[in-house]
Amino acid sequence: MSLKRCKIPPHPPFIPPLLRGEIEGLKRDRGGFKRKNRFGWFGILFLIFFFTISESSAAEYLRVEGVIHLDTNIGGGTLSPEEMVRKVRDQGLKIAIITDHDNMRVEYGLPLLRKIIKKRVDKGGIREYGSGRYIDTIEELRKRYTDMLILHGAEAVPFYYWEGNPIKRELTLNNWHKHILILGLKSPEDYNGIPSVGYGFPLRLGPFCIINLWPIAVFIPGVILLRKKGERVYRLRGFTIKKKRRIYSVTGIIILTSGIIFLINNFPFCEPIYNQYHGDKGTGPYQFLIDYANKKNALTYWAHPEAEGKYEAGGAFEGGKVKVSTSPYYNDLMETKGYTGFAVFEEGYKIMGKPGGLWDQILKDYCEGKRDSPVWAIGELDYKEGDWMGMTQTVFFLKVFKEEEVLDALKKGRAYAVRGIDKPILEDFTLRSSDGEATMGEELQSREGIEVTINIKFPKPPKEEIKIFLIRNGEVKETFSARKDFMIKYKDDYFLPGKKIYYRLAVGEQLITNPIFVRFDG
C-alpha cells in the first residue's frame, strides 16, 4: 500500500510582524517607495510566497495505516516478532506497534508463610524474556524492514487479587485481564520499572516495618532454652552420679528455627504499596502505573475497557481449579487521570465511544477545566494469530515517516480508529472560521460560528446506507446518510463567548475520529 500525502488542511499563511509592517508602510505610501521600506515590492512578494509555501508544505500529512497491540511469543502470543511483522506487512500496513505483556506472573502463597509456601506460574513476558533483549529484537526488525515503522511497547498487567478458600481448593483470580498499554519507553530500566504485583510495587514505610521484625524476639527464649541445662541423677551400686545436660535443646531448636523461617518470610519487612492478598484496590494501582509512565514521558492507553473475561484455568495451579474473572472496567476511565487515551475498537464502543458515552463525558470535563489534558481514541487490534490481521486499524497522520512521529501523532490525537473489511477513508475533517482552521487534536480559537468540512471515501459502495454523525459536545448535532463517497461543508452558527467545546465524527460503527476543540472568544 502506497503512502498517500494529504492535507488536513493548510493553515492560513503566517506573516511575521516585520513583514506586516513593511506591507502597511507601502499601503500608506502609494506614491512610491520610502527609505524605511527596506525590502521593496519584489522582496515582500518573495517573502509572502516563501511563508505561504512553507506553511502549506508543513500542513501536508502522510496518511499511514497501522495496527496497535500485537502480542508475539515473547509475551502472550504464538508468532515470533519477525513473523508478526511479516503478517502486518503482508496486509499492506506500514506501522506495527508490538505490545507484549510486561509480565505474566501469577503467585499465591499460603497465609502466615506466603513467601515460602507458595505456588507461582510464569508464562513469560518482557521481564522474563529480558527487557534489553526485547528492545534489541525490535531494533533489529527496524533495520531489516526499512519500509515500515516498527515500535515496541508493553501491555502492562499492574494488578490482580485473590478471593476464595485455598483449603477448599476454590480460588478466584480477579482483574488479571485489566490492562494498560504503554508506548514510548526507551530503556531496559524503563521496562523493568513498570510497577506490577508480579514483580512487586515499591515498598512503603510505616510502623509495620518494625512489627514485621517480631521473629527476632523469638530468638531470645529460643537461645535461653537451648542453653538451659538440668541435672540427671543416676544411682549405681550405692553411688549417686549427677550429670548436667541440655534438657530443652529440642524445644529451643524448634523455636529458633521457627523464628528464622518467619524472619526470612517477612523480609524485606516493609510491605509493597499493593499486593494480591488484600482485595480490590480500585484504580489505585492503575493510577500509580499511569503516573510512572508520565514521569518517563511515555503514553498510556486503557486496553479493551469493555471486555469481560470469566473462565476456569484448571491447569494453571495443580491441585485444584482456579477461576479467572475480569469485569468490564470502563468506569475506571472516569476515575483516573493523566492517561493518553483508550481503545475504542473492538471493546470500547458500546459504552465508551458511542455518542453521549463516557468518552464524551471525559472530553466535556476537559473542556470545562476539570482535566488537564484530553483523552484520545485508538483502534486496538489485540492480535495473537489468525487471518484477521488489520481488521481494526489506527490511521496516523504523519509529517515525516519516522517512529518518533508516530508517537507524536498519538500524543496529539492526530489519528483515527477504523475497523471492518471495506473500511471508510477519512479524507478531511476540518473546522474553519475567519480566525483560522483546525483538524483532529487541534484547537481553534474563533469569534464566530464555524464551518465543518467532512470528506469520506468508501473503497466499495456500502451495501447499506451509512450514517455519519457529527457530534458536538457529546450530542449528535447532525446526522448525514451516505451510499457513496461523501463530502459536505456544514455551517454551525453555535457561538458562546468564553466557552470551549469540541466536535468529532462517527461513521456508522466503523470509524471514530479524535476531537477538534473550539474556544470561542468575544
pLDDT higher than 80, residue 15? no
pLDDT in tens, 390-439: 999 999 999 999 999 999 999 999 999 999 999 999 999 999 999 999 99
Task: Say what angle helices 81-90 and 131-144 make with each other, to 10 degrees.
Answer: 40
Q: What percent of the chain has pLDDT over 70?
A: 83
* Cβ atoms 246, 228 nearer than 8 A: yes
* Gyration radius of the chain's alpha carbons: 32
pLDDT in tens, 450-479: 999 999 999 998 889 999 999 999 999 999
pLDDT higher than 50, residue 19? no
Per-residue pLDDT, 256: 85
DSSP 156-213: E----EEEEETTTTEEEEESTT--EEEE---SHHHHHT---TTT-PPB--SHHHHHTT
pLDDT in tens, 56-102: 333 578 999 999 999 999 999 999 999 999 999 999 999 999 999 99
Per-residue pLDDT, 217: 87
pLDDT in tens, 102-147: 999 999 998 889 889 999 999 999 999 999 999 999 999 999 999 9
Q: Which residues does 314 contact at the CB level (< 8 Å), separation at least 6?
A: 321, 322
pLDDT higher than 70, residue 39? no
Which has the minimum average pLDDT: 121-135, 261-275, 479-493? Answer: 261-275
pLDDT in tens, 171-214: 999 999 999 999 999 999 999 999 999 999 999 888 878 888 88
Per-residue pLDDT, 465: 94
pLDDT higher than 50, residue 20? no
Per-residue pLDDT, 162: 96
**Confidence bin at 6 (pLDDT 50/70/90):** low
DSSP 213-233: TTHHHHHHHHHHHHH--EEEE
Residue 341: Cβ within 10 Å count: 25
- Pairing outcome for strands 60-70 and 4-7: antiparallel
Residue 414: Cβ within 10 Å count: 23
Per-residue pLDDT, 244: 63
**Confidence bin at 233 (pLDDT 50/70/90):** low
Nearest CA to 23 among 6, 9, 10, 37?
Answer: 37
Per-residue pLDDT, 463: 86
- Pairing outcome for strands 299-302 and 341-345: parallel
pLDDT higher than 70, residue 18? no
Per-residue pLDDT, 36: 42
Q: Compute the mean pLDDT over every residue in the chain, rounded to the nearest whole number.
A: 87
* Cβ atoms 274, 159 nearer than 8 A: yes
pLDDT higher than 80, residue 35? no
Record the cell numbers describing residue 233, joined without a space.
541423677
Per-residue pLDDT, 371: 97
* Cβ atoms 374, 359 nearer than 8 A: no
Residue 275: Cβ within 10 Å count: 18
**Confidence bin at 44 (pLDDT 50/70/90):** very low
- Both ends of the chain: CA-CA distance in Å? 46
Per-residue pLDDT, 16: 41
Q: What percent of the chain has pLDDT over 90?
A: 66
